[in-house]
A and B are shown apart, each in its own frame.
Chain A
Amino acid sequence: MTRRGVLAGLMMLPAAFVGYRAPGASRPRPEVNLTISTDGDLLAFKPVELTCPTAALVHLTFIHTGKYISQDHDWVLTLPDEANAVDQAALRAGEAAGYVAPRGDKRVLAATRMCGKGEQVRIDFIAPAPGEYPFICTYPGHAAFMHGVLHVTAS
């Protein structure tokens, strides 16, 4: 092999690693920014549907866009079919606990703190397995109006 051939081969070497992943190495985690707000002073989320890929690092911003009514809202993501139970748990927790489900409740996948009008908060969480996950506001009586779905896709 000529010296020129060896040099060309060395120059091509990095290209051979492009797209190569060592066995067992994980793909870089995708990151997703989601934003959800209240529908002004109405008892509703806007939008009512969110989407993200499974295992993504989700940066979720929740904005309380209310202007007139002094009501608190939060955003709580629950396991499928557990939204009502989580809502009831928050109600039982009472005003002293801020009407949020007890810390460590396995049915709660992610939750913001309660926000007053004009406030905004960001939380980060890892998107669960693919599926449909309900989200609610756990302030008493709000979940019946304030609810939506996070669609977690396979990729």
Chain B
Amino acid sequence: MIVIRKTVIGLLGSFVLVWAQSALAAEPKSPQDVHMALRILASVYADMQSKLPNQLDRIPHENQEFHEGSAAMRDAMANEPADYKTKVLAALDQAVAASQAVSDTSASHDTVKVMAALEQLAASMHSLNELFPEAIRAEPGSVPAPVHGGPPPSQ
């Protein structure tokens, strides 16, 4: 009897979790635009990552691109319901602030600090991605960062 009760509670818990996740990751009205916006941010993140360890002076430039790229997400959210839009834009603002922090930290030329700031940026981008269905996510790291100065991968 106890086993059955535990199983039922476990199953109910799973359902609640799945429901909560699907409610959190709502389907946007323009999934292609959202996907492209996330890919742009992941691409800039990879470019920023590639500036470690020897090109920290280029990071403010990448930060500017991150700011510009965030406009793609703002456009993609244009026709979304206000509460959903507010939630996404809040997460986006956190990612933009984290990108700014990477840029500010790069002035110190302390690679360890910059790496820590980059991890914070990745975490905030992950939070942003979690607001969307898995099929349209583009997590930081999904665009591989090249080894700077090395030959293009196809050669």
Contact = CB atoms under 8 A, between A and B. Distances in A.
B148 to A, nearest CB: 7
Given A68-B72, A71-B65, A84 B151 contact: yes
Contacts of B149: 88
Nearest to A49: B154
Interface stretch (A10-18, A22-30, A133-141): A133-141
Contacts of A43: 43, 46-47, 143
B152 interface: yes
Sorting the interface of chain B by its residue count into under 10, 10 to 19, 20 to 34 or 35 or more gives 20 to 34
Nearest to A142: B47
Interface string A17-48: 00000000000000000000000111110001
A73 interface: no
Given A84-B152, A84-B155, A145 B40 contact: no
Contact of A144 (B65, B71, B72, B148): B148
Interface string B112-155: 00000000000000000000000000000001001111111111
Given A141-B55, A143-B152, 9 more contacts: A40-B40, A41-B36, A69-B68, A83-B152, A84-B152, A141-B47, A144-B147, A144-B152, A147-B153
Q: Which 6 A-B pairs have the closest CB atoms?
A: A144-B146, A147-B152, A84-B151, A69-B68, A41-B40, A69-B65
Interface of B: 36, 39-40, 43-44, 46-47, 50-51, 55, 58, 64-65, 68-69, 71-72, 143, 146-155
